[in-house]
Amino acid sequence: MQIIYEDDDVFAAVKPAGVVMHADSHHPKGSFLEMVCTLRPTAQLLHRLDKDTSGVALFAKTDAAASYYKKLFKDTLIQKTYLALVVGTFTKKKGIIALPIGRSSSDPRKRSVGGKKGKLREARTDYSVLERFGDSFTLLEVFPKTGRTHQVRSHLASIGHPVACDALYGGKKYACPQGLKRQFLHAFGLSFTSRKGIRVKVEADLPEDLRYTLKELKKK
C-alpha cells in the first residue's frame, strides 16, 4: 500500500485498479479497505472509487476526523480531479455537464442522466481538454462538483464521449486503445482544508498501464 499523504487526522493511499473499495455481496473478500486495515486497523473510508478506477483514496484515523471529512464531502468542499481518456474529440477547450442522475430503469448496475428509477439527484461535472489524439480519443481533466455514483462515467457518456474501455457506459460508442484492460479513469487529486485550517493538495501519478496507453497514442 502506497501512502502519499498523512497528518494527525487522515491519510491518503493510492488505490489500484481492479480492487473494490469495500466488501459487498459480490466481493466479500479482498477489498481495498480490508488491505488498508491490515496496516491501519482504525482506518475509516471517507469516499468511494469504482472498482476499475485507480487513484487517491482518503481515510480517517479517528471518529472525529471521519465526521469532519464526511461533512466536507457531503457539502462538496473537497475538490476532486480526475484524468479521463474519452472516446472522440472536442471542439471546445472547456465544458460543464449539469444534468441530474438517477438509477437506470434498464440496467440496475448503471446510473443514467434522467434515469427514471428512484430519485433524480442534481449533478455537475466540469472538464477541460488536456490533449487530443486525432479523432479517436481525448485526454480530459475532470472536476466533479458533486459526488454521485458513476457520475463522471455517466455524464461523459451522456454527451457522446464515454470513458475509453468503459464496457458499462460505452454503448455503441465503446472504444478501447489496444492493450488497455480497464477503463481509463484515474482519481488524480484531492484538495481540502484540514481541521487545523491548512490547505492540503494530494495527487497520485498515473499508473503504468495508463501512462503506457498515452505513450502509444502519442506515437500514432
pLDDT of residue 75: 94
pLDDT at position 19 over 70 = yes
The residues that bridge with 26 in the sheet, in sequence order, are none
For 210, phi then psi, to 5°, come to -75, -35
pLDDT of residue 118: 62
Q: What pTM was estimated for this model as a whole?
A: 0.91
List 50, 107, 126, 135, catalytic entry:
50
- Structural domains in the chain (count): 1
CATH number at residue 80: 3.30.2350.10
**pLDDT digit string (tens) for 81-131?**
999 999 999 989 999 999 998 877 666 676 777 656 567 888 999 999 999
Residue 214: Cβ within 10 Å count: 19
What spatial distance separates the first Cα and last Cα of the chain, rounded to whole Å? 34
Report how far residue 59's alpha carbon sits from residue 117's, in angstroms, rounded to the nearest whole number: 31
> What would the grid cell of residue 127 be?
472538464
Task: Let me know if 7 is a catalytic residue.
Answer: no
> What would the grid cell of residue 50 be?
469504482
> What would the grid cell of residue 135 be?
479523432
Give residue 8's domain range: 3-219
**pLDDT digit string (tens) for 138-155?**
999 999 999 898 999 999
